[in-house]
Structure 1
């Protein structure tokens, strides 16, 4: 992303990516050339003359609508053109992560959640996963790689703290409120909160980050509004509409990140993460989420998914394969020592290794930020 170009005519990767029409116009105005650039999912139907005149040697156009004569000319001049794929409910070449508004477009129509791009992408995934079509699997891989690239650009330089926990944590419970207060405190401390992007504990932490700029009353009132639809079952539509009611009442909330997956598409993405990196491949999503939590991870009570995340995160810490081990804070002593005894195994793995000083178990969620701070300083 920040490498020095070998030649002036071949700019660094970040500089040669064009992801909007404004960037396209800016590059042509500055250089008069698109040589060796990568133009990603930009509608160029109104830029035919510019394309016909520009040097496109070594350029790559990924999913960019354009006039047929423009596509033919730039191919003849040495460009690679990957045309848009018709009738897809998603863009495999997208240059940015999703927003809640984008995924939930159409929620307020008669069709409700089933009419949204998120629901239609899940339906496509289930259909194509069942038929084993290699073209569909290629499109899923292209999409997930594009999302990874967009997420890397978004989080460059950020101090990211992950909050992991189960999807079953219901709105209206004290546990949900506690997870929201945790997200708010982390955001106010200058961290970028990252979650698995789904409901339950994940939504609560993203809600807390959203509430960070507002006064103390806002979160309490938001929690009351959300409690009207405590779970996404049986109605995702009602559950999601309650979240957008909160967003509409308090616009301009704080930013955070969610990384959900269509692999678990029955769990909808929450609407409080400002940036949503949604994947088809859960393995890419899981590893990508934990790898980007550079400032540590807080594990709230959860079930199989959260246990998996604990040890997915512990493995690179054990081998120090990502450099210095990142802090890990497990919340709820009874849960992690009795109900699901992950803590004894984690401490056994850590014994005598560098990661030993980077793990902590606390009783209450309110203790997690201080534990994280302590581990970061150790």
Structure 2
């Protein structure tokens, strides 16, 4: 029997009202202490799986007796592993003003991920895997009927620099063309692209760039960097759009890269390998790669591997490298990339351009043709 994930009490109420069997249902992070949960007592719960949430002792005992599988809540975990929705960036930074960055769920989750005493704890490993599955599932729901463009680039790009402003204006232009702008969710070029995409007003974007320049980097203080971003969110950004324009997909694997506060939605993962694969696979409208170092180069060749082995009729998204001097000189990626592309299906979709304006024009023209 196929499984069905139930993420709200309304969904569960609908199932119970229709008289559907509970076998195959996955109840995810629900408060079952009320009347809807009590109605489960009268049903055969064999094959039901309850992922976290809140149950009365009576209900938990009855469900186990009937053959349900119940994954216990995890109060010691700094994040809810069973959550059914993506994060808002402010959730990850809760408590920043009162306790500093170390007190935030984001910093605590990184410490939890790195704790050597938990490295071989099977239950903790399971909780992290369930969390990442939930993130992936919520991300799929967000991306239904959305065209997504990825913007990759170095985390060391500082606020107040031309490179930061370029990335912000790129994100703004791409989001204005109706694309969901996805980044690795960290600082630097990623923060800039998320900011530009989330900020629909050009004048407000320019004000935000000026204000952020007061704290150029998250080094040496994540606290000051994040607090400046909170102030800019409050003063320059309007209420989040009903349809998100900006997505961050960061990881707790990189504790030295705090997540930025400008994505409309954040899918944060414990597994970096899973996170990278998910991010790159979902950028169906193309990927723009701004100048970066080792991490950015790794992402380029992960993308190239996908393109290289794709079938002839796959409808490949464009890969656009920005910065001719960078990608042919100081970080000479373009030459081997060209050699690999020659004669293959990927050859016409691989581009090297000089500026972010060139990249935006290339991608927005493709969007217009697709319409």
Are 1:105 and 2:94 an aligned pair? yes
SS at match of 2:27: strand
What is the 5 A alignment of 1:7-156? 13=3, 16-31=4-19, 34-47=22-35, 48-109=37-98, 111-128=99-116, 131-156=119-144
Relative to the length of structure 1, the TM-score reads 0.90
The within-5 A match list for 1:204-215 is 204-212=192-200, 214=201
Report deviation, 1:21. 3.0
Say which of 317, 320, 325 aligns to 1:334. Answer: 325
1:343 equivalent to 2:334? Answer yes
- 1:283 corresponds to: 273
Asked whether the 8 Å contact 1:177–1:204 carries over to 2, the reply is: yes
Relative to structure 1, is the Cα distance of residues 233 and 353 closer, same or farther in structure 2, using a 3 angstrom cutoff? same
Return the offset for 1:142.
2.0
Unaligned runs of 5+ in 1: 1-9
Normalising by structure 2, report the TM-score.
Answer: 0.92
Alpha-carbon distance in structure 2 between the residues aligned to 1:278 and 1:265: 12
| Cα 1:327/1:89, change in 2 over 3 Å | same
Q: 1:231 and 2:217 equivalent?
A: yes
- Find the counterpart in structure 2 of residue 176 from structure 1: 164
Partner of 1:7: none
C-alpha RMSD of matched pairs (Å):
2.0
**Structure-2 residue corresponding to 1:357:** 348
CA positional deviation for 1:30:
4.6
CA positional deviation for 1:308:
0.6
Instruction: Show structure 2 runs of 5+ residues with no match.
Output: none
What CA distance in whole angstroms lies between the structure 1 residues aligned with 2:238 and 2:268?
23
Q: Over residues 295-329 of structure 1, what are the superposed CA-to-partner deviations in whole Å (9 max), with x where a residue is unaligned?
A: 11000000001101111001111010693322100
Residues of 2 paired with 1:248 and 1:191: CA distance? 24
Cα offset, 1:251, TM superposition = 2.9
Q: Please give the secondary structure, in 2, of the residue aligned with 1:108.
A: helix
Equivalenced residues, count? 363
For 1:135 and 1:192, how far apart are their aligned partners in 2?
A: 35
Shift of 1:128: 4.0
Q: Distance in 2 between matches of 1:347 and 1:172?
A: 33
Contact 1:167 1:202 in 2 (8 A): yes
Counterpart for residue 272 of structure 1: 262
Give the SS at the match of 2:214: coil
Deviation at 1:174, TM superposition (A): 1.0
Q: Distance in 1 between matches of 2:123 and 2:66?
A: 28
Query: Which residue of the partner structure matches residue 251 of structure 1?
Result: 238
Are 1:221 and 2:207 counterparts? yes
Greater CA drift, 345-354 or 362-371: 362-371
